[in-house]
Structure 1
Amino acid sequence: MSGTPVPLTIIKGAGHEFIPLPQGENATVADFHSIRTQTTDSPTHLTSGFYKIEAGPARPAHYTFEETKYVINGQIDILDEATGVTHHLVPGDFAFFSVGSKVQFSTKSSGLAFYAVTRPVRTPHPGLKGREEDVKSRL
């Protein structure tokens, strides 16, 4: 790798920001950063954010992109439709979803996970706009 180094992007306090659920919903995503990859033959987006779920109906998902989820708080139950197995994820557990995965998310209480996905931003994280640390002002 050669060329000029590129500064990091830092978002202070992203994990402490309140994430409201849309009216009538028991789960939501909150994307907080996205980049277009440049190191592969087939560039894509890499987006990260938080997934929040509360008790209520199961939330089906059919993946047309890759995703990883790391549970930070609570419990998130994931029914894998390919196997019929329900996985009960708690803080410290990690899941990977391939293109073609079909799952149903649920919880008996609430859960919060950090995720990284290969898709552009869909739902910007509320309250984080303009909160990226200004690295240039510190140089």
Structure 2
Amino acid sequence: MVLLTENVSSNLIPLTVIKGAGHEFIPLPQGENAITADFHSIRTKTTDSPSYFTSGFYKIEAGPERPAHYNFEETKYVLSGQIDILDEATGVTHHLVPGDFAFFHVGSKVKFSTKSQGLAFYAVTRPIRNPHPNLEGREEKKARL
């Protein structure tokens, strides 16, 4: 194991724990078949060019395709169901199931769909833009055993 100590501050900073930030608290908006629900965002301080780091859940149900053109990086990790992703650069549709991971580069252009439903955890390099009210205020204040 390699321990990186460069640029590590001598001031210890506590981690952030979000309690109960589960997907079950994320209903789809009326008339929509997909939603992104950001639940945590921070401006990074440890890199040469600070950026935002935001995470949340992506939920989709059967319905129209959901196009996305990326001007930031994103990772998605499928937790349940199936999420189909048409990569417009290659014309290939990827069928992601639980345990599958996708990385979207700046410039990626895709269409999301599903025949049933799908849920993924995501992390993106952009500020929070879709805070979900059912996920706000769930930061744990003190450690509990």
TM-score, length of structure 2 as denominator length: 0.90
Identity of aligned pairs, percent? Answer: 81
Trace 1:1-139 onto structure 2 (pairs within 5 A): 1-135=8-142
CA apart distance, 1:16: 4.5
Q: Which moved more, 1:63-72 or 1:39-48?
A: 39-48
Q: Which runs of 5+ in 2 are unaligned?
A: 1-7
Runs of 4+ in 1 over 6 A off after TM superposition: none
Q: Which runs of 5+ in 1 are unaligned?
A: none
> What's the Cα RMSD here?
1.2
The aligned amino acid for 2:135 is L
Aligned length: 137
CA apart distance, 1:111: 0.2
Q: Deviations over 1:42-92 (max 9, x none)?
A: 111000000000000000000000000000010000000000000000000
TM-score, length of structure 1 as denominator length: 0.94
CA apart distance, 1:15: 2.1
